Structure 1
Amino acid sequence: MPARRRRRWGLRIASTLSALVLTASGVGHSVVAGVTDGVGRVDAFGGLRDRPDAGSGLNILLVGTDSRDGLTEDERARYHVGGASCRCADAILLLHVSEDRERVSMVSLPRDSLTTLPAHTMPDSTERHEAHDDKLNSALSHGGPQLMVEAVEGLTDTRIDHYLEVSFVSFMRAVDQLGGVEVCTTEPLRDAYAGLDLPAGTSTLDGPGALAYVRARHVDGASDFGRMERQQRFLAAFADKAVSGGVLLNPGKVAAMAEALLDSVRADEGLDAEQMLELAGLMRHFTTASAEFASVPVADRQHEAPGLGSTVLWDEKAADRLFDALRHDRPLPRPEPDPGTPAERPAAPADGAQDTTGADEIVC
């Protein structure tokens, strides 16, 4: 891929993801302030102790929830999101923006990752739970954003600077406000559970179609791992559409999108208008940026845990290499070569892991 195109994708991804509540450089303080004033606020860091040391760059924990709030019963059935929400994290991603603002790294964390949740009190109750093993996605329902941050920091030994949470509703509205997002696939993708039915080739997805695309778990045997790859592909395509369509540089379009999303987006108090403008302004000046995607390397994707069923065990050595790079503001590492693998043929990643991937490699 030519360097010029790689730089363009780095700019697009970084510019969009740095403005995750839908603002961008050039929009202006009044519009940005209006957006941030309407965003739901959560206390994601209060009371947390023994946290990892702060590193260079900026780390944002992006959580997609399974909340159905704002959807009618008919819409829930039509979008294949019926049933009660468990208030769990449906997608968990760690976004790192380098200190020099020239690189964006996004790491997908399997939602079924086995972890030990610290002692906590259940939300809106006095029910106290001692520390216990559980799946990572349950941290949100057990202790809200604070426990989610604490669990991710415990697993990754990486300090989280900001927390951002989006729901099914906000996701679909964002896609529809863009006029749909284009994705491509070499094979048909079908999942009756999620309502996904895509032919091979290129398709433009509306909000409900995009939700089916990123939620589908029964497309192939890859389950959550295939879904994480589709989520990364979709984020890259979303970024391209938002920037190439001029949405993020148009105050009117930003305001319209923000109005549609404000009731279903939550962020920590520290992610304010001033910081967003600062980030967006820095992103605007990218000239040699790159964007990269990866998933946490795993040792066992179907580890049976007592009382929990099938869980995901991380490859601790490889995962530590990955997060050590984030902690020290370095590009994400490539898998270590197998000594028995010929030099001209790259080694296969560990079971369930995804190689580090450039943005230009996962878009149409």
Structure 2
Amino acid sequence: MPARRRRWGIRIASTLSALVLTASGVGHSVVATVTDGVGRVDAFSGLRDRPDAGSGLNILLIGTDSRDGLTEEERARYHVGGTSCRCADAILLLHISADRERVSMVSLPRDSFATLPEHTLPDTEEHHDAHDDKLNSALSHGGPQLMVRAVEDLTEVRIDHYLEVSFVSFMRAVDELGGVEVCTTEPLRDAYAGLDLPAGTSTLDGPGALAYVRARHLDGASDFGRMQRQQRFLAAFVDKAVSGGVLLNPGKVAALAGSLLDSVRADEGFGSEQMLALAGLMRHFSTESVEFASVPVADRERQLPGLGSTVIWDEAAADRLFAAFREDRPLPRPESGEEAAAEPHAVPAGGEHGTTTADQIVC
């Protein structure tokens, strides 16, 4: 077994053991107290004609462009000035297998072409008929319910839970960890996002991490390169939390969870009991089964009237990818000996030719 895989296996085993131990006594108190501060949203009531429920657990994770909680000076320093469109800045679909031994994560391009079902704008009585739009606009047009409906329509995967994370909670969680390490073979610079990284390994604080996962002007990859950096960063974040012993210390767990969940919104059904139960079921988990992929696309820049540049999915390949979610199987692997892109800033091939594991994308 490769040394890196052995290292990850040991780290994950110790992490999940700690999570299971905290599922009783003071651990239960810590989790319950932290989740009391989570904002709750109604993401599922009124949804009709939904996909059939499958095995395992499907979670829709949304990164929003909300600036709530940031001062004007902080917005300028973090390069997130302007008014939030309340859009989805990152859209990820997670599947946890029924045996709790595999996690699959697929990034959905935010500019994906989608037909939004009829809806009423949040906090108004303005009704919109079904219309074509970009996937990320579903959140601003109809809130979490429309976001769930749009993703279920595109993937035919039934979503069990909804989580929404803002800029503020993201940065605070990174700083609580003491920074997160990322690596790149070439310098990464994006003045729009405030990103300026040399080649090699860098430790990012909260603002630096935000710039890293939001940068879109590094090369021609745009959102596709950004999706891969988001996946890399999530793997590095977990690596740091585990290797730094944070998850073995109930006090540090509470501080990290508090900073992360302070600006998080979740569906009513995803509470402390569900989190603790999930931790208990995952005691035999190993990272060689942590999978990352992006949706296969047929056209990355389809120009459409009124919408501008949109992403058109490769329907056949995307269906094969999400069939793995529906059937609780591992994601499709590269064929003919092909390997997923290894460069930290490379464009992910997506789907069958872009599946990687956590071991392949940490420094």
The answer on 1:173 being equivalent to 2:179 is: no
Deviation at 1:259, TM superposition (A): 3.2
The answer to whether the 8 A contact 1:88-1:138 is kept is: yes
Percent of paired sites with the same residue = 81
* 1:19-30 paired onto structure 2 within 5 Å: 24-27=19-22, 28-30=27-29
Over 3 Å counting, the alpha-carbon distance change for 1:347 and 1:38 in structure 2 is closer
Over 3 Å counting, the alpha-carbon distance change for 1:297 and 1:95 in structure 2 is same
Question: What SS class does the counterpart of residue 133 from structure 1 fall into?
Answer: strand
Q: Provide the residue aligned with 1:73 in structure 2.
A: 72
Q: Provide the residue aligned with 2:187 in structure 1.
A: 188
Q: Which amino acid letter does the alignment assign opposite residue 90 of structure 1?
A: D
Question: What SS class does the counterpart of residue 300 from structure 2 fall into?
Answer: strand
Deviation sequence 1:329-361 (CA, Å, 0-9, x none): 1010024x5xxxxx566699x995351011111
Q: Distance in 2 between matches of 1:229 and 1:288?
A: 18
The answer to whether the 8 A contact 1:10-1:103 is kept is: no
Deviation at 1:34, TM superposition (A): 0.7
Q: Taking structure 2 as the reference length, what is the TM-score of the superposition?
A: 0.91
Deviation at 1:8, TM superposition (A): 4.9
Q: Which amino acid letter does the alignment assign opposite residue 20 of structure 2?
A: S
Q: Provide the residue aligned with 2:254 in structure 1.
A: 255
The answer on 1:84 being equivalent to 2:79 is: no
Q: Distance in 1 between matches of 2:47 and 2:160?
A: 13
Q: Provide the residue aligned with 1:284 in structure 2.
A: 283
Q: Provide the residue aligned with 2:47 in structure 1.
A: 48
Deviation at 1:60, TM superposition (A): 0.5
Over 3 Å counting, the alpha-carbon distance change for 1:281 and 1:344 in structure 2 is closer
Over 3 Å counting, the alpha-carbon distance change for 1:325 and 1:10 in structure 2 is farther
The answer to whether the 8 A contact 1:116-1:134 is kept is: yes
Over 3 Å counting, the alpha-carbon distance change for 1:13 and 1:83 in structure 2 is farther
Structure 1 window deviating more from structure 2 (282-291 vs 100-109): it is 282-291
Q: Provide the residue aligned with 2:233 in structure 1.
A: 234
Deviation at 1:286, TM superposition (A): 2.4
Structure 1 window deviating more from structure 2 (207-216 vs 264-273): it is 264-273
The answer to whether the 8 A contact 1:42-1:267 is kept is: yes
Q: Which amino acid letter does the alignment assign opposite residue 21 of structure 2?
A: G
Q: Distance in 2 between matches of 1:195 and 1:70?
A: 20
Deviation at 1:15, TM superposition (A): 9.3
Q: Provide the residue aligned with 1:246 in structure 2.
A: 245
The answer to whether the 8 A contact 1:9-1:290 is kept is: no
Over 3 Å counting, the alpha-carbon distance change for 1:8 and 1:47 in structure 2 is farther
Q: Distance in 2 between matches of 1:160 and 1:237?
A: 26
Q: Distance in 2 between matches of 1:198 and 1:351?
A: 20
Aligned Cα root-mean-square deviation (Å): 2.2
Q: Distance in 1 between matches of 2:296 and 2:96?
A: 21
Q: Distance in 2 between matches of 1:89 and 1:25?
A: 33
Q: Distance in 2 between matches of 1:90 and 1:10?
A: 32
Deviation sequence 1:54-96 (CA, Å, 0-9, x none): 1111111000000000000000000000000000000000011
Unaligned runs of 5+ in 1: 338-342
Question: What SS class does the counterpart of residue 25 from structure 1 fall into?
Answer: helix
Q: Distance in 2 between matches of 1:10 and 1:229?
A: 23
Over 3 Å counting, the alpha-carbon distance change for 1:224 and 1:31 in structure 2 is same
Q: Which amino acid letter does the alignment assign opposite residue 268 of structure 2?
A: E
Q: Which amino acid letter does the alignment assign opposite residue 69 of structure 2?
A: G
Q: Provide the residue aligned with 2:111 in structure 1.
A: 112
Q: How many correspondences in the alignment?
A: 351
